[in-house]
Amino acid sequence: MTQDAISFKCPNCSGAIEFDILTQNFTCHYCGSAFSQEQIEEIYPTDETIEEFMKEKEVTEEQKLETERFEHRTYLHTCPGCGAEIITDNKDTASTFCHYCNSVISFSGQLSGKYKPDKIIPFKRTKEDAIEGFKLWCGKKFFVPKDFKSDRVLSEIKGIYVPFWLADCCVDGELIATGKNSTSVRHGDYRTTTTKEYHVVRKGSMIYRGVPADGSSRADDLLMENIEPFNYNELVDFSLSYLAGHTAEKYDIDKDMILPRISQRTTAAAEAAFKKTIRGYSSVITKSSNFRISHINWDYALLPLWFLSYKYKDKYYHFAMNGQTGKFAGELPLCKWKVFLVGALITLGILGFFGFIGLGGLLL
C-alpha cells in the first residue's frame, strides 16, 4: 500500500531539517539554518491543504486491490527525498526515517481527517537526556546484564510521539461510611471501653481536566501511566512539522474503547479524595460508594516519550522516559547467573561461618 509522504527539507541546501528540542525551532544540521514554526508553515503546505489534496486524489480499482492485498502484511511508502521505497510493519505509523538519505518522513494521510490530532506537546528532553536518565535508572545494579547498559543498546533509544486521548469530565459521587471513636477507663481491676459510632455521608462532584489514556494498542498502558504527569500548559496546536526528527503513530484504539479506563481512573481518584475528608475517627469502615462519570469532552493529542526495547532470554523489557518532564519508568532484566553466583557465595559464607563456629567448639 502506498501513501503520500512529506519530507521537510531545508530551503537553503535541501538537507533534512529536524525539530530542535533545545531551541524549539527547526534546524538544518547541514548548513546550520534555523526556522521558526511560522516560517515552516509558509514554506510547506498547511494541514488543511494536505487534507484537500488527499480528498481530491483519484483512487483506481487497481490501487484498491493493492490496498486490500497489503493491508495485513507490509506498508510501502516512497521517500520524496531520494525516491527509495520504505517499508513499515504497522499501518498506524505516521512518521519514520529514510535509512538511505536520513530524511524524516511524515505520512500526511495517516494524520488527516479524524486522525488529525488536536494538540501536541513538543519534545523538551533530548536523546542525551534520555540516555543519561537511563544510566541513572540502571545505576550500579549488579544483577543487570552487562550488555543492557552498552552503547549498542543505548543507541537504540528512539523519540516517539504516542497518541493519547485526553478527557475532561465530571465525577458525581456518594460515599457512606461508619466512623468509630473508642475510649477506655480503668476502675480497679476492670476496664470499661465505650465505643461511639457515627453515620458519615459524603456527597459531591469533582472536575477532572486532561485525564490521559494512550490510544495505541502497541503501548503498554501501565508503562504509559508510570511516566505521567504531562504539563498540559505546554500543549500547542498540532502541525506535521513537529514530527521532524522523531517517529509518530496515529491512534488505533478509539475513545469509546478508552472510556472504561478513564472512568476507572477518575472514579477511583474521586473516592480516594472523598475518604481523605473523613477525619477525627479512630477507625472508618466504608459501607457503600457510588461514583459516576459524566460531561465528557475529548482531545486527541500526540505526547512525547523516549523509548527503548531490549530483548533478553526471549523476553522483551521496555524503558520509557517522558519526553517533556524527564520522568522515567520500566522493568529491569535480571542476569540469572549473577543471581545464582551471589546466592551461592552467600550460602558458602553461611556454611563457612557455622563450620568455623563448630570447629571452635571442638577446640574448646
pLDDT at 137: 76
Burial status of residue 189 (CB atoms within 10 A of its CB: 0-12, 13-18, 19 or more): exposed
- Tell me what pLDDT residue 81 has: 58
CB 299 within 8 A of CB 166: yes
Neighbours of 18 (CB within 10 A): 19
Percent of the chain past pLDDT 70, that is, above it, reads 64
**What are the pLDDT digits (tens) for 207-228?**
999 999 999 888 888 889 999 9
Given a cut of 70, the residues of the chain with pLDDT beneath it are: 1-9, 13-16, 29-32, 43-111, 139-149, 333-364
- Intra-chain end-to-end CA distance of the chain, in Å: 86
Residue type, position 210, single letter = G
- pTM given for the model: 0.68
Can you give the pLDDT at residue 62? 54
Residue 26: predicted pLDDT: 74
| Beta-strand pair 158-187/190-214 | antiparallel
What pLDDT score does 242 carry?
Answer: 85
What count of residues does the chain have? 364
Q: Cell 486527541 maps to which residue? A: 300
Q: Quick check: 160 and 307 in contact, CB under 8 A? A: yes
Give the pLDDT confidence score for residue 163 in this predicted structure: 92
Helices (H), the chain: 37-43, 47-56, 61-70, 127-138, 151-154, 221-226, 255-276, 336-363
